[in-house]
Structure 1
């Protein structure tokens, strides 16, 4: 059909929202609903079309050749009525409030009734809320309710934070079978080899009577070679007199088949350096430097021994402007530029140095090419911030468990001189625009809500060139290259202070 010059196109922007609100009001009148759900003795009048659009379960029920497709009253068994009520409210309003009290019930019910949007957002909420006090329970819940993303992240969190997790009440309440599964994991990372023994002893002493008999088996699973020196004789060990002998034999009792001894990973904090060579004007990307003559570009410094040690070279010698971050004791390098000083281009490449294999491996490419960006770790995920060619701070997130990137909301204020750190479950972006001596701004990202906010904080430093920050014990430490001063920010108190050196 052709158009006339006097045709007028009209679109009511509020129509979709008004329609949803109208349907929500119609639910209160049973005469205007076409189906009533019967759950746990409660009745929920609603509309087949709305349910079918939000739930694969109801779509199949109402569009298939089932008696429920024509009956006015449908009974659904083994479903939590409170959780169902929240799902129905979401179907009609697009809004839902998730908290620690209802998230497990929502996941359980959304899995039963196949509400994919709620499944996804609840799974992300659980992953973002994970800490040492709840990761074991979240792991078991994810395994029992078909949430592999949740359980795999919980496993990874346990491996990296075993010592903290083992001090929590949740660890002490583990069943013997579940504890044995965790101790059998040879990827547990500990600062001291005795930490596993101390964790086992804490678990036994929590209920010494029935648990003492399991001590030799648990210590053997942990591949332990000795008990802690400060172990008190008889402190919950009276029923296991053969335990010291077992430990001295490297974890093999007289009746057990011997196996190779694998000690837990004993870790030390080190400083990692990648790159650092200047690209000369006469060099291009393909020549000008013999790779065999290139100095080592990847090393770490041990502050205890005060020694540098070389590691396998980062494969991309001539790249600059990349960002570096560590996660789960692996090193990740993202983005950066290639080429000569007269012809450069940003890349989407990302690399991971796997500590276990001792080798660099490429990972999924970023969604955007980035140079001179920053990266930070938050809740087991990597966030890369800025460094694109547009005048907004674009952000994306890498999930090492799905091995994929996803875009998140950009920062509210544009900054080109910035740094970032994850702290207490949120991402903090500190920086200023390119104008010299422009004041720093503090922006905060909430990953659960995918929402940025600008924080007005007393005593924030006025200006720092090339700022860098790090998070430690719930505080953020900030320094720049134009000052010897160090500043510390307390997110809970929202106060900046100078650090005395």
Structure 2
């Protein structure tokens, strides 16, 4: 087989015993024939198909490189035009996975460990300083600065339980951690203490998903202490928007004076009646009247409620020797109002937003009506000027414009535009899974739902939900019957209106943002 291939290219192949011939100075004339570029390539192709001839390839390359007439660089059958060094960068896509897997094995088997961590309950864990420093700024600073722990092989972590420490170490070596309702607060505290930033962010997102009226006060205090900006923002939103329900919760009477003053001082506190505010003060003072009755003036000052100070002082002095309770305090506060028909000082700061419309062509203007001043204000125009037949709904301080189509093309759109009523600007959101127009949209449980509508000229039963935390749309069960432009109403959200060419939304400052996950966290 080998000689037949050699005959075709016009040269003789020496036997393995004659390999020294290739090192001799005098080379046969046939050698000069196959050292040309074409012959070199032919030789390589020949070698690939001839078993037993692979041993000649190094000699072929060596002799070709030293040929006096032609110094072509043959590298595995490939001729390079320039004389520069050949460079090849190999990127192993599984290297980081294998690297982490090896470190995980070292951790489990206690190999190459150079530090011992001790939990607050005395359990010990053999670890690697390099792995800890890579995941935690706390350990990085500890092991790189002039601290005692830099050279100490045993470090005790005060305030970190062994189960929490074990979870953080498993995250260090596996990149995974299990967050539950039972361990989330302790896990966030430890992650904040040890500067596991990613774990802290994940715990914060978990708590945001589980916010409700019953725990928003405690979560707001927790968020302030551990500097969790998103948790603080969302818990405050629930407090100010649903204060009438929040003040009836068990957490309310345990709230500190400073926190209560902070809540009452919020300009966007949504309380329709003064009686609600007075009732909340009476309930808070009635929980511990001896210690708290003296704070009544400070609280009323925060609420900007005008009362007859002389009457209030006299009444409190008269009742100081008697047992004060919630009902008596509430009665005193009501009598202190200067007039029964006094206008409430704290009003719902509701605004109405009218987006778009149609006047010979689609409009993209935004008009805002302020009921307090009875004035209309011009907002920022919607970026997609030719859009029509879309739907609108609100979630927190945002108005979501979904779907529709353009005047020059009846093809349905899947695009989403989000209007921020606080900053008066538009941002492009994640596109829907299904393009649609003449559809309904509604918010429920902190999510946006797109229902029905038209696709390709026919009604659609398809529905989907948008998760604002994951910034993604997810499909849900199809509706029983295809619908379009229907009224949509949710149990906990004010209904919003969407007409064929006009989108209008009513919004109250500090809308409740309570997220319920539709997918596993």
3-state SS of 1:472 partner: coil
Structure 1 stretch displaced more, 62-71 or 124-133: 62-71
* TM alignment of 1:149-298, pairs within 5 A: 149-208=230-289, 210-212=291-293, 214-225=295-306, 236=326, 243=333, 246-248=336-338, 263-267=344-348, 272-279=353-360, 298=368
Partner in structure 1 of residue 476 of structure 2:
455
- Residues of 1 paired with 2:374 and 2:487: CA distance? 25
Q: Greater relative contact order (Cα 8 A, min sep 6): structure 1 or 2?
A: 2
Deviations 1:213-253 (A, max 9, x none): 544553344233479xxxxx975465899756644389xxx
Decide which of 51, 75, 82 is 2:156's aligned counterpart.
75
**RMSD, aligned CA:** 5.0
Partner in structure 2 of residue 336 of structure 1:
384
Shift of 1:13: 4.8
Structure 1 stretch displaced more, 267-276 or 145-154: 267-276
May I ask how many residue pairs the two structures share in their alignment?
403
Decide which of 84, 96, 109 is 2:190's aligned counterpart.
109
3-state SS of 2:170 partner: helix
* TM alignment of 1:324-403, pairs within 5 A: 335-337=383-385, 376-378=393-395, 385=402, 393=414
Task: Answer yes or no: is the 8 Å Cα contact 1:445–1:453 preserved in 2.
Answer: yes
Partner in structure 2 of residue 312 of structure 1:
376
Is the aligned partner of 1:37 residue 2:117?
yes
How does the TM-score come out when normalised to structure 1?
A: 0.63
3-state SS of 2:160 partner: coil
Partner in structure 2 of residue 23 of structure 1:
103
3-state SS of 2:214 partner: coil
Task: Answer yes or no: is the 8 Å Cα contact 1:213–1:239 preserved in 2.
Answer: no
The verdict on how the C-alpha distance between 1:65 and 1:423 changes in structure 2, with shifts beyond 3 A counting, is: same
- Residues of 2 paired with 1:123 and 1:191: CA distance? 32
Shift of 1:423: 0.9
Task: Answer yes or no: is the 8 Å Cα contact 2:271–2:347 preserved in 1.
Answer: yes
* TM alignment of 1:86-105, pairs within 5 A: 86-105=167-186
Structure 1 stretch displaced more, 202-211 or 186-195: 202-211
Shift of 1:197: 0.9
Decide which of 466, 471, 478 is 2:490's aligned counterpart.
471
The verdict on how the C-alpha distance between 1:478 and 1:383 changes in structure 2, with shifts beyond 3 A counting, is: closer
The verdict on how the C-alpha distance between 1:139 and 1:398 changes in structure 2, with shifts beyond 3 A counting, is: farther
Is the aligned partner of 1:427 residue 2:441?
no
Shift of 1:474: 6.8
- Residues of 2 paired with 1:336 and 1:313: CA distance? 20
* Greater strand share, structure number: 1
The verdict on how the C-alpha distance between 1:401 and 1:35 changes in structure 2, with shifts beyond 3 A counting, is: farther
- Residues of 2 paired with 1:402 and 1:107: CA distance? 31
- Residues of 2 paired with 1:121 and 1:443: CA distance? 25
The verdict on how the C-alpha distance between 1:480 and 1:274 changes in structure 2, with shifts beyond 3 A counting, is: closer
Decide which of 443, 460, 467 is 2:464's aligned counterpart.
443
* Greater helix share, structure number: 2
Partner in structure 2 of residue 356 of structure 1:
none
Is the aligned partner of 1:414 residue 2:495?
no
- Residues of 1 paired with 2:424 and 2:74: CA distance? 50
Q: Where in structure 1 are there 5+ consecutive unaligned residues?
A: 228-232, 251-260, 286-293, 303-308, 323-334, 338-343, 347-370, 483-490, 495-501
Task: Answer yes or no: is the 8 Å Cα contact 2:442–2:450 preserved in 1.
Answer: yes
Q: Where in structure 2 are there 5+ consecutive unaligned residues?
A: 1-72, 79-86, 309-318, 502-514
- Residues of 1 paired with 2:101 and 2:159: CA distance? 29
The verdict on how the C-alpha distance between 1:379 and 1:460 changes in structure 2, with shifts beyond 3 A counting, is: farther
The verdict on how the C-alpha distance between 1:60 and 1:138 changes in structure 2, with shifts beyond 3 A counting, is: same
Partner in structure 2 of residue 118 of structure 1:
199
The verdict on how the C-alpha distance between 1:189 and 1:92 changes in structure 2, with shifts beyond 3 A counting, is: same
Structure 1 stretch displaced more, 154-163 or 269-278: 269-278
Task: Answer yes or no: is the 8 Å Cα contact 1:393–1:410 preserved in 2.
Answer: yes
Deviations 1:103-149 (A, max 9, x none): 32222222222222223233333334332212211221122222344
The verdict on how the C-alpha distance between 1:246 and 1:475 changes in structure 2, with shifts beyond 3 A counting, is: closer
- Residues of 2 paired with 1:433 and 1:113: CA distance? 53
- Residues of 1 paired with 2:399 and 2:283: CA distance? 34
The verdict on how the C-alpha distance between 1:45 and 1:249 changes in structure 2, with shifts beyond 3 A counting, is: farther
How does the TM-score come out when normalised to structure 2?
A: 0.61
Task: Answer yes or no: is the 8 Å Cα contact 1:190–1:267 preserved in 2.
Answer: yes
3-state SS of 2:281 partner: helix
